[in-house]
Structure 1
Amino acid sequence: MGYKSPVDGNKAQTKRKSGFKSRILNLPNPILLQTDRVVNGGRKMSEVNCARCGRKLRNPHSIARSLGPVCYAKSGGGVFDRDLNADEKEWARREQLLKAGGEIDLGVNWDYPDPGNLIRRYTMRVSVRYKDGAFEAYGRIFAPDEKPKEIIFARSIDLKTVYREAVAAGPTYSAIAHRARQEAGKRAKMEWRKNQRRLMVV
């Protein structure tokens, strides 16, 4: 199944990894929500909100990655951005490495959203690999007492496209996880206040 790229809005040959039964992936792929809303929903770009702080985004580059520059940095963005500016010789070297069975890791301790929970439970490693005739950007998700699970961010014969998706995935998912914990905290606080009012009435 194809979907829109969260980085540049171009349609990439991508697919979701099947067999992932954990409830955390019963939700839509968070990294795609903002792009789908702009491109498929036909809304104005100014209506896109930052995945971390919720403020409206107006800069096209910020809109493409669903994060403003400050929140992008707070979410760990920028660490691997220089990798995208490599020369053609380096891209050829990476292709050779991946086709030989190697992988390129782009961070091993990213956050992953767990809606409703205040405590961080999931961590994610983001990597690029070559599998079944195409390059893949994927995440391997870890949690205590659970088997690691995978999610595919992008799949394409174009390594540069896949690499951009991999670089964007870590900060975007970390930002969404941060916001999810904030929302869970607000709900918990509201529930606590309601309980306190009930006790006062009794």
Structure 2
Amino acid sequence: MRIVIDLQGVQTANRHHGIGRYSLSLAKAIVRNRGDHEIIIVLNGLLPDTIEPIRVEFDDLLPQENIRVWHAPGPVHDNEPGNTWRREAAELIREAFIANLRPDIVYISNLFDGYFDDAVTSIGRFDQTTPVAVSLYGRDALLPAGRKQSTDPLYQQYYRRKTGYLQCAALLLGISQFPQRQVEDFFGKNP
């Protein structure tokens, strides 16, 4: 089985916090326990300062040719309306890049990045057949609209788009019981 891990959760400002540490630890554990499975890590070329440190983290665990970098025009962060066309293009480029790797499954370490940075995550924009797994973290994932979203219409649009992508995921992985309850409340279904 070929597993593609989108490790942008370790490329954003989250890399210094729980999400980044958790994402890196989980990716390393998957690589260490891969058995006969092939693991490919994909990184975002719009976040270049983080690529080499991540490569170093996997030096003795994974062949360097299994760490791939995709590139798109930037900037793409959602809090700037002029970036919309680049972000939309980058979503398609990223998904096409991953689809070209012919994965059996894709794992996204953090779907909810990209508002203040150039992370690009989407599900089902280009590839609508490969199953995608997504991690959800604590209280930041799916709060009711009135509590989570600001009055900023750009943020509201960003949040609706990300939760729409989340509905396309084949598997949601919660790090605790709280994200599970959020999924049940938000989507009305078993996570």
Q: If the length of structure 2 is used for normalisation, what is the TM-score?
A: 0.27
Structure number with greater Rg is: 1
Q: TM-score, normalised by structure 1?
A: 0.26
